[in-house]
């Protein structure tokens, strides 16, 4: 995905999009008004939905086509909440799961780690960041990658890390487990607004 200046994106979409924007320094800078002292215009309903769509795209680092496909897939499943299914599809991407386990500083970093083949899922090496994980799947750091600088001082880095309840990383065996389906507790994302955007 094409990388754009993170600060500008965060000012437009909010600090939750990138980890680097969740700092006091950004909060102070983002409260400034537009050039000339003008206030930003109030968004229309369509504009607000578009912003929510972009939040998801940049947060998870996916393209427009990928997000559209995720929405179609979630909408096609009968007997379940579409918003919940969409959130599950996004969260159970392999690159996001690695990020949620605390093994990378950002989703962009973990996407690159997956692409370079540092992880094994159920005894198979996977290099596809969008690989969909399922309940009971086991993600391991590849034997040949355990000595990499990427995984140095893991115990110190994960000491104070609190990941979501649906995934757990076993530091002793250097493997992660999918324990449950992800539940949407992100107040930053309005998934229903995204579904409304695509239903037009």
Report pLDDT digits (tens) over 45-98: 888 899 899 989 988 999 999 999 999 999 988 766 899 999 999 999 999 999
CATH topology of domain 6-89+187-198: Ribosomal Protein S4 Delta 41; Chain A, domain 1 (1.10.1050)
How confident is the model over 39-56, as pLDDT tens digits? Answer: 556 778 888 899 899 989
CA distances from 60 to 76, 139, 174, 187 (A): 22, 19, 24, 15
Residue extents of the structural domains in the chain: 6-89+187-198, 93-178
Nearest to 98 by CA among 178, 184, 2: 178
Alpha-carbon dihedral sign for residues 128, 130, 134, 135: positive
Mean pLDDT of the chain: 84
């Amino acid at each position: 995905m094409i990388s754009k200046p993170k600060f500008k994106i965060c000012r437009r979409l909010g600090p939750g999009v990138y980890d680097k924007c969740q700092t006091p320094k950004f909060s102070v800078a983002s409260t400034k008004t537009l050039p000339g002292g003008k206030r930003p215009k109030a968004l229309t309903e369509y504009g607000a939905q578009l912003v929510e769509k972009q939040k998801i795209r940049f947060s998870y680092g996916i393209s427009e086509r990928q997000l559209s496909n995720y929405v179609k897939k979630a909408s096609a499943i009968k007997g379940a909440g579409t918003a919940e299914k969409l959130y599950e599809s996004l969260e159970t991407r392999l690159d996001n799961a690695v990020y949620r386990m605390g093994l990378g500083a950002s989703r962009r970093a973990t996407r690159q780690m997956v692409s370079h083949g540092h992880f094994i899922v159920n005894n198979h090496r996977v290099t596809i960041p969008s690989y969909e994980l399922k309940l009971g799947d086991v993600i391991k750091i590849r034997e040949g990658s355990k000595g990499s600088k990427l995984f140095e001082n893991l115990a110190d880095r994960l000491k104070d890390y609190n990941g979501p309840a649906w995934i757990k990383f076993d530091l002793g065996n250097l493997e992660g487990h999918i324990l449950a389906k992800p539940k949407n507790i992100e107040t930053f994302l309005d998934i229903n607004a995204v579904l409304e955007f695509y239903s037009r």
